[in-house]
Structure 1
Amino acid sequence: MIFWNSFADFIAMGGYGGYVWGSFGMAALIMVMEPILVVRRRTQTIARLKRQARAEARNSSE
């Protein structure tokens, strides 16, 4: 079991704190950004498909 003498020791993680917290931060950032980017891409794809459908409807009526 691991015990730390202070909060600073916990943050330092035995000298590996930069790596540990940097990795944790990057993973958290990716987990937050992924759903945002998926929704944005979905919205863009739906808009593009609607534009294509309108263009095809105009071309087929000519």
Structure 2
Amino acid sequence: MWNSSSDFFAMGGYALYVWSSFGVSALVLLIEPLTVRARHQAVLKRLQRESLAEQLDLEVAK
């Protein structure tokens, strides 16, 4: 397939496309769990605020 490591990294003239594709894929795989975690924490905080607001409404209504 490749005669040397430089041939491997050149990817037959498509190195920019191939390696940038790998880079973007790796970046997405790293960022995705971080964004999911952040959104999960935001939802939990919102639910806690809504629960507290509902409890306060019930106390005021008494």
TM-score band by shorter chain is 0.7 to 0.9
Q: Which residue of 2 aligns with 1:40?
A: 38
Normalised to the residue count of structure 1, the TM-score between the two structures is: 0.87
Pairwise CA RMSD of aligned residues? 0.9
Structure 2, unpaired ranges of 5+: none
Q: Offset at 1:4? A: 1.2
Q: Deviations for 1:2-49, whole angstroms, at most 9, x for unmatched residues?
A: x21221111110100000010011111111111111111101110110
How do 1:13-24 and structure 2 match up within 5 A? 13-24=11-22
Question: Share of identical aligned residues, percent?
Answer: 45
Q: Which residue of 2 aligns with 1:57?
A: 55
Normalised to the residue count of structure 2, the TM-score between the two structures is: 0.87
Q: Which residue of 1 aligns with 2:27?
A: 29
Secondary structure of the 1:39 match is helix
Residue type matched to 1:26 in 2?
Answer: V
**Paired positions, count:** 60
Secondary structure of the 1:18 match is helix
Structure 1, unpaired ranges of 5+: none
Q: Which residue of 1 aligns with 2:5?
A: 7
